Amino acid sequence: MSDAPAADAAILRAEHGKDGLPKLVMGAIGVVFGDIGTSPIYAMRETFIGPHPLPVDDYHITGIISLIFWTMMLVVTLKYVGVILRADNRGEGGTIALQALLTRHSQGRRWAPWVVVLGIFATALFFGESIITPAISVLSAVEGLTVVEASLEPLVIPIAIGIIVGLFLIQSYGTARVGAFFGPITLIYFLTLATLGLVNIFQNPDILWALSPHHAVRFFMTDGVLAFLALSSVILAVTGAEALYADMGHFGRNPIRIGWLALVLPALMLNYLGQGAMLMGNPEAIRNPFFLLAPEELRLPLVVLATLATVIASQAVISGAFSITRQAVQLGYLPRLKILHTSARAEGQIYIPFINWVLLVLVILLVLGFGSSSNLAAAYGISVTGTMLISTVMIGILITQVWKWNRWLSYLLIGAFLIIDGAYFTANLTKIPDGGWFPLLAGLVVFTLLTTWARGRFLMQQRLKESAMPMEVFIKSASRAAARVPGTAVFLSSTSNGVPHALLHNLKHNKVLHERILILTIVIDEVPFISDADRVEVFDLGANFYRLILRYGFMQQPDVPRALKAVNTCGPDIRMMDTSFFLARQTLLPSERPAMPLWREKLFAWMLRNAESAMEFFKLPTNRVVELGSQVEI
C-alpha cells in the first residue's frame, strides 16, 4: 500500500498544534509517564530483597544505582526517546503501528512474515503487562500503609481490590473525565519524588558518585552472576518505557521528549539516589525505602499521593489495552467487539466492555493469588523485556531496510540495543518459577487467539472466493430474469470481487432485485487514519450495480451510514429510509480435511459465533438490516 497523503500528515500536526506545547507536555506527564513514574515505589526494594537478594551495603547500592541510571540513559533516553520515537506511522506509535508501517514497505521481502509474527507476539505480551501493571502498582502503593501503621497489614489486599474495582467501574465514563486532573496530580507526584530524593542526597552527597558507569562495570567484573541476576529487578525501574512510543499519537514526539528530559528523568534519578543515600546510613530501610524517605508525619499523605499516581498509571495501561484491542480488531486479528466512543471530540477515547471486565477479573485474581507486590514483581519484567526486545528487532529492520541509515552505524546501534535488551530478557527468564510463568502464559493464550482468528478468517475468505460467481456473469443473467423493485440495497462483502453470498440468497428466496444495488467492501488500511476525501471509491458495474469500497485507518471506527451520505457518484443521494442492508452470517461446518488443527477450528468457530454483529459494529440502522445465513467449510 502507498503511504498516506502528505495532507493527512499535516492534519495530524495541526491537531497537535491546537493545544500549546506546555499543555501537551502536561498531558504527556499525566498519561505517558504514569507507569515508569511509579517504579520507584518498588524497584529499589525488589532489587535487594526480591527473588535474587543482595547485601545492602555501599558497594551493591552504588552498583545498582549505576545500573538503574545507565539503563534509563541507554534504554529509555537513547533507544526510545532518541531513536524509536522517530518511527511514527502518520503520527501514531506502538508495535502494531510499527508493524503496519513495516508491512507497507515489505512487498516481496523475506522478512515480511517475521514482521507480522513479531507484531502479534508483542501485542500478546502487552496484554499480559496490562494485567500485571494495575495489580502491582496499586498493591505496592497501598502497602505503604504498613509503614504508617503495621497493624493495617490485613487491610492492604481489601483496600487494593476496592481501588481496582472502582478504577474499572469508572472506565465507561471515558478517559477525558477520568483523567481530567491526571496532569497536575502527576506533576505534584514527580516534584515530590525529586524533593524527597534531594533531602536525602544532601545528608549523604557521596551517593552522587554512583552515577559513574564504573560502579556498574565493577559490579559485573567482581560479582558477575549476582549482577546478571540483579538485571531482572533493575528492569523494574524502566517498566512503562514502551508507553512513550505507544502514546506518541496522543501528544506528539516533542512533548514526550521534553517531559522526559526536563522533569521525569531528573525526578526519578533524584529519588533513586535519595533511596540509595538513605540505605547507606540505614540498611534496615530496605523493607520499604520509598515511603521511608519521607518524615513520619508525611508518610500517610505520601501513601495517598502514591496511590493516586498508581491509579493514573493503571488508567494509562487500561486505555492502551482498549486502543490495542481496537487496532487488532481493525487489522483482522480479533473478531468484532463492542466498542463505545466516550468522547464526541476525540476519536481515540473508547471503551470496550468485554476487555474491561476480563481485565478486572484477571487483575483481582492476580492480587489474590500473589498476595503482595514483592511476589508480583517476580512475575513482572518478562513481558516488558520481551516487548522491548521485539521493538529493537523491528526498529532494526526499519533502520536498515526502509530508512537505509549508514550500514555500520545501524549495525553498531542495533547490536548494542540487542545486547542490552537480550541481557535483561535472559535475566528475567530466571524468574519463571517465581511467577514469571504468568505473563508468558497470558501472552501464549492471547497469541493463540490472535493467530487462530487471523488464520481462520483468511481460510474462510479463500473458501468464499472459490465459490463466488463472477460479478459480470451475475449481472447479465440476473438483470434480465429478476424483477426490479424501488429502493437501494447494500450488500456487505468481505472481498472486492465476486458476488456476495447474501445477494445470491436474496435473489434465490425473494426473486427480486432492488432498483439500485451497492456491493460494499470495508477495507482497513495499514495507516492510522484515512481522510474523508480518500474514504470512498465507486465503480459502476452497469445495470445500476455499483461496487463501493470504504477505506478506514486502523485507529478509526467505521460508520457506514455517515460515509454513504457523502456518496454522490452512483445516482441519486442515498437516503437511509429507502435503503436496505443485507448481511451474510457465516456458520462454520466441520470439514473432513480441515486446513488447521481441529481444536483451532473449534476455537475459531466459537470466536465467530460470539463476534459483535456487523450491524452494530458498522453502525447500520437496526430497522433497515436483513441477515441471511450461509455455511462454510474450512
Instruction: Output the nine-digit C-alpha cell for 307.
Output: 496511590
Establish if 452 belongs to a structural domain: no
Q: Residue 82 pLDDT more than 50?
A: yes
Collect contacts of 549-552 with beta carbons under 8 A, ≥24 apart: 549/496, 549/520, 549/521, 549/522, 549/523, 550/520, 550/521, 550/522, 550/523, 551/523, 551/524, 551/525, 552/330, 552/522, 552/523, 552/524, 552/525
Residues 293, 278 contacting (CB under 8 angstroms): yes
CA neighbor of 81 nearest in space, from 258, 324, 309: 258
234 and 96 belong to one structural domain:
yes
363 and 475 belong to one structural domain:
no
Q: How many CB atoms lie within 10 A of CB 374?
A: 18
The number of residues in the chain equals: 634
Q: Residue 250 pLDDT more than 90?
A: no
Q: Residue 229 pLDDT more than 70?
A: yes
Establish if 535 belongs to a structural domain: yes
545 and 434 belong to one structural domain:
no
CA triple 116-76-314, angle to 5 deg: 75
State the total domains in the chain.
2
Based on C-alpha coordinates, what's the Rg of the chain? 27
Mean pLDDT of 272-300: 95
Alpha carbon distance 621, 342 (integer Å): 20
Establish if 505 belongs to a structural domain: yes
Establish if 454 belongs to a structural domain: no
The pLDDT, as a whole number, for residue 291 is 95
pLDDT digits (tens, 9 = 90+) for 582-592: 998 877 776 76
Who's near 389: CB < 8 A, 6+ residues apart? 418, 421, 422, 425
Residues 268, 193 contacting (CB under 8 angstroms): yes
Strand ranges in 252-328 using DSSP code E only, listed in sequence order: none
229 and 316 belong to one structural domain:
yes
Q: Angle 21-31/299-330 helices, nearest 10 degrees? A: 100
User: Of the residues 444, 478, 505, which one is the last residue of a structural domain?
Assistant: 444
Residue 496 structural domain: 467-633
Query: Please, what is the end-to-end C-alpha distance for the chain in angstroms?
Result: 28
Q: Residue 376 pLDDT more than 50?
A: yes
- Which residue has 441519486 as its cell numbers? 572
Q: Residue 633 pLDDT more than 50?
A: yes
Who's near 426: CB < 8 A, 6+ residues apart? none
Alpha carbon distance 30, 180 (integer Å): 9
3-state secondary structure of 406: coil
Instruction: Output the nine-digit C-alpha cell for 203.
Output: 545528608
The mean-pLDDT minimum among 274-278, 298-302, 500-504, 594-598 falls in 594-598
CA neighbor of 316 nearest in space, from 123, 179, 119, 190: 179
CA neighbor of 558 nearest in space, from 520, 517, 503, 586: 520
pLDDT band with cut points at 50, 70 and 90 for residue 177: low
pLDDT band with cut points at 50, 70 and 90 for residue 178: low
> What amino acid is encoded at 463 in this protein?
R
User: Does 337 or 10 have the greater pLDDT score?
Assistant: 337
426 and 514 belong to one structural domain:
no
> What CATH number is given to the structural domain containing 53?
1.20.1740.10
The mean-pLDDT minimum among 34-48, 464-478, 503-517, 518-532 falls in 464-478
Mean pLDDT of 142-171: 92
Q: Residue 34 pLDDT more than 50?
A: yes
The pLDDT, as a whole number, for residue 594 is 73
Mean pLDDT of 412-424: 95
Query: What is the longest distance spanned by two Cα atoms in the chain?
Result: 94
Q: How many CB atoms lie within 10 A of CB 621?
A: 14
User: Of the residues 376, 411, 444, which one is the last residue of a structural domain?
Assistant: 444
CA triple 263-267-269, angle to 5 deg: 125
- The most confident of the ranges 180-189, 429-438, 491-500 is 429-438
Edge-first strand order for the sheet with 536-542 is 536-542, 545-552, 512-524, 483-492, 579-589, 625-633
392 and 497 belong to one structural domain:
no
pLDDT band with cut points at 50, 70 and 90 for residue 17: very low
Q: Residue 461 pLDDT more than 90?
A: no
Q: Residue 423 pLDDT more than 60?
A: yes
User: Of the residues 409, 444, 479, which one is the last residue of a structural domain?
Assistant: 444
3-state secondary structure of 341: strand
3-state secondary structure of 138: helix
Q: Residue 348 pLDDT more than 70?
A: no
130 and 272 belong to one structural domain:
yes
The pLDDT, as a whole number, for residue 179 is 53
407 and 534 belong to one structural domain:
no
pLDDT band with cut points at 50, 70 and 90 for residue 5: very low
Q: Tell me the pTM.
A: 0.85
Q: Residue 221 pLDDT more than 90?
A: yes
> What amino acid is encoded at 66 in this protein?
S
Calculate the average pLDDT of the chain: 87
The pLDDT, as a whole number, for residue 473 is 87
The pLDDT, as a whole number, for residue 7 is 33
CA neighbor of 305 nearest in space, from 183, 199, 188, 198: 188
Establish if 459 belongs to a structural domain: no
Q: How many CB atoms lie within 10 A of CB 523?
A: 14
pLDDT band with cut points at 50, 70 and 90 for residue 251: confident
Question: How distant is the alpha carbon of residue 239 from its chain centre?
Answer: 14
397 and 514 belong to one structural domain:
no
Residue 511 Rama label (left phi>0; alpha psi -120 to 50; beta): left
Establish if 450 belongs to a structural domain: no
Q: What percent of the chain is modeled with pLDDT above 90?
A: 53
Establish if 220 belongs to a structural domain: yes
Mean pLDDT of 162-173: 89
With 0-12 / 13-18 / 19 or more C-beta atoms within 10 angstroms meaning exposed / middle / buried, residue 139 is buried
Mean pLDDT of 114-137: 90
pLDDT digits (tens, 9 = 90+) for 514-543: 999 999 999 998 888 899 989 999 999 988
Mean pLDDT of 119-129: 89
433 and 472 belong to one structural domain:
no
3-state secondary structure of 519: strand
Q: What percent of the chain is modeled with pLDDT above 70?
A: 94
Establish if 19 belongs to a structural domain: yes
Mean pLDDT of 592-597: 77
Q: Residue 55 pLDDT more than 80?
A: yes
Residues 505, 531 contacting (CB under 8 angstroms): no
346 and 474 belong to one structural domain:
no
Give the helix/strand (H/E) hosting 529.
Answer: none
Mean pLDDT of 321-333: 87
Q: Residue 424 pLDDT more than 70?
A: yes
Residues 594, 456 contacting (CB under 8 angstroms): no
The answer to whether the Cα torsion of 273, 274, 277, 280 is positive or negative is negative
247 and 134 belong to one structural domain:
yes
- Strand 512-524 to strand 483-492: parallel, antiparallel, or no bridges (unpaired)? parallel
